A and B are shown apart, each in its own frame.
Chain A
Amino acid sequence: MNFLLNPWPWWVSGPLIGLTVGLLLLFGSRNLGVSSSFRHLCALALPKSRLPYLAQDKVREQSWNLFFVAGIALGSFLAVRFLSSHPVQFLPPQYHSVSGAVKLLCGGFLVGFGTRWARGCTSGHAMMGLSNFQKPSLYAVISFFAGGLCAAAIAKLLSGGTL
């Protein structure tokens, strides 16, 4: 049982994560993607918006996506509650502060803005798109890492290389 309760090694979790692509196609006929949920949530929160991006969103047709992300939360709850011997530390202690909240808000803004502009995130482009050999998804994934590694280099410079 211990191996189940500890964090799973990459050679177990990687293939199981990839299997989501197949399970979602086989049982749901849907292409894996998570960041469209931001558009649906925004459209639901602002039903009277006249911005075409929100007004033209087909929330009803795409409602599966909201069930899917609710499921992600449920699955993670089950993992933490019943399948972990140690508490999972999602964010480091220094993020539980006002400055942490500001960082999460600003970073989250970039996540929302960027994934909607790119029309996909790590799920839709990296997993689904690359599994289907889509060139635009390859460019998207290269850009994700270009952004992340640039931010890492800047953070390292700002901290004097101590990070």
Chain B
Amino acid sequence: MKHARYLLLGAYFGLVLTKSEVVTWHKIRAMFYFREPDLYLIIASAIVVGMLCVWLIRRLHPRTPFGERIEIQPTPMHKGVFYGGFLFGLGWFITGTCPGPIYAQLGGGEMFALFTLLGAMLGTYAFAWLQPRLPD
């Protein structure tokens, strides 16, 4: 049960991602070509609700149903957010997919997303190999 909850939480996330169509190539293109504002509005409203959630949890410090303390981790500063972030942006445009939607596409029956996932794993392997030589 302790792990089954992540399957359920993921299912919630996947269902909402697919119903919002942010997992489709044409929505991502429409965003980058400024054809429709939908995706910008979705991202902005998601962040506002996320901020509210984090604020409430910080204020009320509830525990999980399993009695665990809820830890909100800080993000350390490093150069990779610039370099890696830029490279990811290029890939985001080309595939019309970010990491969450890869799994959503696969679950939704889009088998060509296997190529995206395979590419991402090769990219991860290349990163693992080059990491000692890259700026942090």
Residues of A within 8 A of B (CB): 7-8, 10-31, 34-35, 37-39, 41-42, 45-46, 49, 51-54, 63-65, 67-80, 83-84, 88-92, 95-96, 100-101, 103-123, 125-137, 139-152, 155-156, 163
Contact = CB atoms under 8 A, between A and B. Distances in A.
B128 A49 contact: yes
A91 B25 contact: yes
A40 B86 CA distance: 23
12 contacts: A21-B49, A21-B53, A24-B9, A28-B5, A54-B128, A68-B13, A71-B14, A76-B107, A92-B26, A108-B102, A123-B100, A152-B33
A91 to B, nearest CB: 5
Contact of B112 (A31, A100, A135): A100
Interface residues of B, number: 109
Given A18-B49, A68-B9, A126-B43, A78 B57 contact: no
B16 A121 contact: no
Interface of B: 3-26, 32-33, 38-39, 41-54, 56-57, 62, 64-65, 68-78, 80-110, 112-113, 115-129, 131-132, 134
Given A21-B50, A130-B47, A88 B24 contact: yes
Contacts of B116: 104-105, 107-108, 111
Looking at B41, B71, B85, B109, the one whose CB has the most chain A CB atoms below 10 A away is B85
Contact of B71 (A29, A133, A140): A29
B5 to A, nearest CB: 6
Contact of B93 (A79, A92, A151): A151
B42 A14 contact: yes
